[in-house]
């Protein structure tokens, strides 16, 4: 495993739409392990592949309950509203209030290429939606409620 360089705000890769992952192979397994190591080293709760320069639909999340790997995720449903401060490893030191759904239902493949669905609320929902945005070139500052 190795630490990956986290791309910072201003890097054009953060604004690009990601491509679907077509298969699980040794390179993808290594990428997932590297992303986990990088996220934990940076004290983050999530990291998306474009944040390490890879334009693939992949992100990881760990809000303290163990890591979750999302490959080719889909958002199936959202509900409610919550406003809270968000930060991002690609915008170190910056936080802004962001309104997001309080509930999300998502479907994805895990690191074993198994399909799963997850229902999440509050912080986990926020983390999933934040990382999902990265796959479409959207940053939390695009959604801030601060005027």
**What pLDDT was estimated at residue 133?**
98
The answer, yes or no, to whether residue 145 has pLDDT greater than 90, is no
As a whole number, the mean pLDDT across the chain is 96
Q: Facing residues of 100 across strands?
A: 82
Domains and CATH numbers, the chain: 12-142 (3.90.45.10)
Contact 17, 132 (CB under 8 A): no
**What pLDDT was estimated at residue 13?**
97
The answer, yes or no, to whether residue 146 has pLDDT greater than 80, is no
Annotation marks residue 131 as catalytic:
yes
> Average pLDDT in the 76-93 region?
96
CA distance 69 to 31: 11
Per the annotation, binding residues for Fe cation are 88, 130, 134
> Average pLDDT in the 43-58 region?
98
**What pLDDT was estimated at residue 1?**
72
> Average pLDDT in the 7-16 region?
97
DSSP H helices, 9-145, are 26-41, 122-134
C-beta atoms surrounding 11 within 10 Å: 15
Per the annotation, binding residues are 88, 130, 134
Query: Pairing relation of β-strands 115-121 and 58-61?
Result: unpaired
Among residues 37, 85, 119, 131, the one annotated as catalytic is 131
pLDDT in tens, 52-73: 999 999 999 999 999 999 999 9
**What pLDDT was estimated at residue 105?**
99
């Amino acid at each position: 495993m190795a630490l990956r360089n986290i791309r910072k705000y201003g890097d054009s890769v953060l604004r690009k739409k990601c491509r679907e992952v077509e298969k699980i192979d040794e390179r993808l397994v290594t990428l997932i392990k590297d992303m986990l190591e990088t996220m934990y080293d940076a004290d983050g709760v999530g990291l998306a592949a474009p944040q390490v320069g890879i334009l693939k639909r992949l992100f990881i999340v760990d809000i303290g309950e163990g890591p979750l790997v999302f490959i080719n995720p889909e958002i199936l449903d959202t509900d409610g509203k919550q406003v809270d401060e968000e930060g991002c490893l690609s915008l170190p030191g910056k936080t802004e209030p962001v309104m997001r759904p309080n509930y999300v239902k998502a479907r994805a493949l895990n690191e074993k290429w198994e399909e799963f669905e997850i229902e999440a609320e509050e912080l986990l929902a926020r983390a999933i939606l934040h990382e999902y945005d990265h796959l479409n070139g959207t940053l939390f500052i695009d959604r801030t409620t601060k005027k």
